[in-house]
Homo-oligomer: A and B are copies of this chain.
């Protein structure tokens, strides 16, 4: 246990991961070696009843990209950590034995216990076993077999408000890092009684009220409550930006069969445990999650989101929501990132390992990931390794990480987001589809993506990215809240300052790690996406200007920065 240094006070989630990574991890380490650290970080606003702030970040050096990574999830664990007075967990070193441990936190103590009874188990069974031992009121952070095999697509899974361990800090292989640090799970027992101090409680309460109000008033957030992220499927399909048949098509004539409307109606028609809305964190009023039931009303997966629907559905030629829900659950159970898995399987389909439109074969292959067969390990290592193993060219990755369901040809802003993000092809770095612009025009995409990347990095420091919709033009509300808690006097300009600082730290880490490749794959620049034949054709000059100092200021030199601190 260590006090939080003063200079980390306002950093949380992604921003804290960026700082701790730069301060404590040798960028040249092996991501699965002793030099890497697993960083689990919470928000500076968590524990105070602020909506959408209970994100749990998992970060460090990524075995997938070789660069810095922060993946985050909802669930109940983050707030429980905060209530135990824990801002972050840093796991160091390398265990001497292959046996993993459970980090148990409770009653003011943290201790490592043998994980023998959980080894090899899927995340759902891990959750069942943990609930049996400690009751349901625990925070659970765990990995599936994919993590134990230290595969590049292995995520870290957090239990949600309904107990399912399906809130995924999925991307970048942080589940493999967790295993490499010797952890199968973190269990946080009890509610904790730490209340983060607030400098000006009256001002804080007022600001929080305005914050809540702003969220409730935002029309797009109302759509999220009813349709979740699935509400964007037809929009992206219309933009020719939904990856289909191994990133060949962007608009699919079967899209309506897997649309947000379709899922909404299917859930309502079945009743039972199903729900069109569901909160992933205790204190969240957006509640974009859902619970998908089977034909008997029994819960299959919570949530089914757009990304998995696109990558595990459309991208594999599967237009059946029940199939996609069951495949998504299997990914959660095995403990893999559904985006990476879907992209890898798309590449494997091109290689002849499966055919498009074969859900049972897809399940069989994902089970192979869980069983650790050689083919399973290849697929579980992600799209890049799958592509290399089978000598494929059409591999939708940047920095070795698979692209999400926002296709960068139909939605050209994503070309810049994927190419220039410090994290590889994360759509969350800067989803551009809501920008009021022609998404098929290459011009202007660089600036849009860059601006969004900066503001997203700011939100990623504090809360769920969806809050951004509600606070456009109202950033002062956020500042009022921060100032009231921390006794600071920050203006709205703080958002871009912080966002830039976080990204610059991340970039400094990557530079020292030797990770710089910044472009979309050749096939997206030469093969038009069907049916409209659109290319990713951002002008090279725009890419080249992305990091211009007139926008970012001087880059951070990690070596000097580390010495100065």
Q: What residues of chain B lie closer than 8 Å to A33, measured between beta carbons?
A: 393, 522-523, 526
User: Which one of B30, B179, B393 lies within 8 Å of A32 (CB-CB)?
Assistant: B393
**A522 in contact with B393 given A388-B385, A514-B516, A515-B517 (CB within 8 Å):** no
Centre residue among A63, A152, A381, A559 by max chain B CB count within 10 A: A381
Q: What residues of chain B lie closer than 8 Å to A26, measured between beta carbons?
A: 522
A150: Cβ under 8 A from any B Cβ: yes
Contact B526 A34 (CB under 8 A): yes
**A385 in contact with B389 given A516-B516, A522-B28 (CB within 8 Å):** yes
Contact A30 B393 (CB under 8 A): yes
Q: What residues of chain B lie closer than 8 Å to A513, measured between beta carbons?
A: 517
Q: Write the nearest CB–CB distance from A171 to chain B, whole angstroms.
A: 16
Q: Give A522-565 as 1s and 0s: 1 = Cβ < 8 Å from B's Cβ atoms.
A: 11001000000000000010001000000000000001000000
Which of A48-56, A225-233, A371-379, A498-506 is found at the contact surface with chain B?
A: A371-379
Chain A interface helix/strand/loop/mixed:
loop
**A391 in contact with B176 given A66-B517, A513-B517, A522-B35 (CB within 8 Å):** yes
**A32 in contact with B385 given A517-B515, A518-B514 (CB within 8 Å):** no
> Complex: how many Å from CA A63 to CA B395?
13
Within 8 A of B (CB), among A170-185: 176, 179-180
> Complex: how many Å from CA A236 to CA B393?
40
Q: Write the nearest CB–CB distance from A398 to chain B, whole angstroms.
A: 10
Contact B378 A30 (CB under 8 A): no
A116: Cβ under 8 A from any B Cβ: no
Contact A514 B519 (CB under 8 A): yes
Q: Write the nearest CB–CB distance from A232 to chain B, whole angstroms.
A: 29
A141: Cβ under 8 A from any B Cβ: no
Q: What residues of chain B lie closer than 8 Å to A179, measured between beta carbons?
A: 391
Contact B374 A381 (CB under 8 A): no
Contact A519 B28 (CB under 8 A): yes
Centre residue among A30, A150, A526 by max chain B CB count within 10 A: A30
**A526 in contact with B35 given A30-B393, A393-B180 (CB within 8 Å):** yes
- Residues of chain A at the chain B interface (Cβ within 8 Å): 26, 28-30, 32-35, 63, 66, 94, 149-152, 176, 179-180, 374-375, 377-378, 381, 385, 388-393, 395, 513-519, 521-523, 526, 540, 544, 559
20 new A-B contacts at CB < 8 Å, known A30-B522, A32-B392, A33-B393: A26-B522, A28-B519, A30-B395, A30-B521, A35-B522, A35-B526, A66-B517, A150-B392, A152-B388, A176-B391, A179-B391, A374-B375, A374-B378, A374-B389, A378-B378, A378-B389, A381-B388, A381-B389, A514-B519, A544-B559
- 4 pairs of A and B residues whose beta carbons are closest in the complex: A514-B517, A150-B391, A30-B522, A33-B522
